Amino acid sequence: MQWHKDGTPIPDATNATLLIDRARSADVGSYQLTATNALGAAASRVATLRVMESAPVVRRITMEPTTHTPFIGGAATIYAEVSGSAPVSFQWLFEGAPIAGATNSTLSLENLRRDQSGNYSVIVSNAIDTTTSATLRLNVSELVIWGNDIIQKRGVPIAATNLVAVSTWEAHTIALHTDGTVVVWDNASPDSTVEIIFSADTERPFSVQSSTGLKNWGTVPGIFAVDPVGPRIWFLDREAANAPLRFYRIRSD
């Protein structure tokens, strides 16, 4: 037996079945099988193969690790899940600019630096079309977070740099900067919060209030942390991202 494509014998295609794996435009044509024995030869009917090609689609891009925020000196890998007709080419971008040599379906980043924090995306092309994925944000942190599921899912804000001490529990995390200021965050988006530091008599009741126009003040639910040494109190407003403009005041109740 011998298979032919457009009248030309196909090398090593000498079985009763011809398997074309991952058919592409180059495989389009007319196929025919000839069979020979001692009594003669016979040819099959001609079968015409058409290939419907499709443009590339980036279904999603994901990143590992997933159990903690990538940290300085560590590693991260970004994956592109795509569909479409082969062959497919890739070009990874950082903040919209091509990354030299980053032309595989995965982007491996090692010995991470702080300046590698930013938005990553990928351009995917085939013979039909070219498309660009949505961006994926990578934050490279000085911190490594581990613990139970609640703590592991907590992001690290961009402001968490130049740290000398960190304390964390299920409710929130507090980190101390070298200049004595503190950043506080919880499992909400870490960079969509507002931190307020003030002095108050902790023996007297008080509340933090906000307003969008210096009237109609209302109490803001949030997280409080008290400095055990001095009279400073840190307050974290988790609803700040919901208001483009917000004024604050401390009210003694």
The per-residue pLDDT string of the chain (253 residues; one tens digit each, 9 = 90 and over) reads 999 999 999 999 999 999 998 787 788 999 999 999 999 999 999 999 988 788 999 999 999 987 667 888 889 999 999 998 888 999 999 999 999 999 999 999 999 998 999 999 999 999 899 999 999 999 888 776 666 666 666 667 666 777 888 877 666 677 777 877 667 676 655 555 566 666 766 677 778 888 877 778 888 877 666 665 556 676 777 666 566 566 778 777 6
Which of 88, 111, 138 terminates a domain? The answer is 138
Helix and strand counts by DSSP (H, E) for the chain: 1, 22
Strand ranges across the sheet with 222-226: 194-199, 232-237, 222-226
- Is 171 found in the same domain as 246? yes
Q: How far apart are the first and last CA of the chain?
A: 95
Question: How far, in Å, CA of 82 to CA of 58, rounded?
Answer: 4
Q: Would 35 be classed as within a structural domain?
A: yes
Q: Are 30 and 2 in contact (CB under 8 A)?
A: no
176, β-bridge pairs: 165, 182
Please check whether residue 144 lies inside any domain of the structure. Answer: no
Q: Indicate whether 68 belongs to any domain.
A: yes
Same domain, 156 and 185: yes
Structure tokens at 222: 């949030």
pTM: 0.53
Rounded alpha-carbon distances, angstroms, from residue 222 to 69, 103, 208: 24, 45, 9
Beta strands in 52-205 (DSSP E): 57-64, 76-83, 89-94, 97-98, 106-109, 118-125, 130-132, 136-138, 163-168, 173-177, 182-185, 194-199
Same domain, 114 and 196: no
Which residue range forms the structural domain that includes residue 227? Answer: 149-252
Residue where a domain stops, chosen among 103, 138, 173: 138
Cis previous bond, 87, omega within 30: yes
Based on the fold, state whether residues 176 and 241 are members of the same structural domain. Answer: yes
